[in-house]
Chains A and B, each alone.
Chain A
Amino acid sequence: AQSVSQHNHHVILSEAASLELGCNYSYGGTVNLFWYVQYPGQHLQLLLKYFSGDPLVKGIKGFEAEFIKSKFSFNLRKPSVQWSDTAEYFCAVIIYGNNRLAFGKGNQVVVIP
């Protein structure tokens, strides 16, 4: 069964610091990769996604993620966070031939002003 690993469940950092959240998946075939975000009191929403092509994907609000196939990873980055980036971030994967979106456990990120 496919699985998605996210480490460092709780992350606390100051404004203007850089953020990197790790995501690893356990499947060697073709995948579609996603990062979802849930701001306090709001719905889950898509931050960015990867299907094919350029492994560096840019999303909303200055976020980007890089797909490294050899490392089965899809890490999320933002060079300079703001207080408004306080949220929970989920990595998710769909593997070829299985239309089920599998989520990681999430990263709770708190940005201190």
Chain B
Amino acid sequence: EAGVAQSPRYKIIEKRQSVAFWCNPISGHATLYWYQQILGQGPKLLIQFQNNGVVDDSQLPKDRFSAERLKGVDSTLKIQPAKLEDSAVYLCASSLEWPWGAMDNEQFFGPGTRLTVL
């Protein structure tokens, strides 16, 4: 089966500019996640969707970050305006089921978008 697709793979912008990332999850996966992975750290969840509804966005810096998942399939994550500390890899993941306790809750990750803010 096709994996999680993300684009672009790399992006370099200047601070205060805007940027958007796109994710296409595995077909049929109801749950979609966006993670931020700063160099030297593990991924940190930014936002989680169940179908097209937001389940958890408590760690999303809402003053500058936004995300949507229209029609419950593709998703976009936007940063506006970007800051130097936003330099990171942005990972998208999807899973068939709800994370807790379900046998099919494995999260499948995309290749990520490496963002550099100058």
Contact = CB atoms under 8 A, between A and B. Distances in A.
Report, as a range, how many residues of chain B touch the other chain.
20 to 34
A32 B43 CA distance: 17
A105 B99 contact: no
Nearest to B45: A100
A92 interface: yes
Given A90-B42, A101-B107, A44 B99 contact: no
A103 interface: yes
Contact of B101 (A32, A102, A106): A32
Interface string A94-113: 10111111111110000000
Interface in A65-93: 90, 92
Given A94-B99, A99-B56, A105 B109 contact: no
A76 to B, nearest CB: 14
Contact of B40 (A32, A44, A92, A105): A105
Most buried by A among B40, B103, B105: B105
Contacts of B41: 105-106
Report, as a range, how many residues of chain A touch the other chain.
20 to 34
B101 A4 contact: no
Contacts of A97: 100
Given A100-B45, A105-B42, A44 B103 contact: no
Interface of A: 4, 9, 32, 36, 43-46, 49, 51, 90, 92, 94, 96-106
Given A43-B3, A96-B101, 9 more contacts: A4-B42, A32-B100, A32-B101, A43-B109, A44-B109, A51-B103, A96-B100, A99-B56, A105-B41
19 contacts: A4-B42, A9-B40, A32-B100, A43-B4, A43-B108, A43-B111, A43-B112, A49-B106, A90-B43, A97-B100, A99-B56, A100-B48, A100-B56, A101-B45, A101-B99, A101-B107, A103-B43, A106-B41, A106-B42
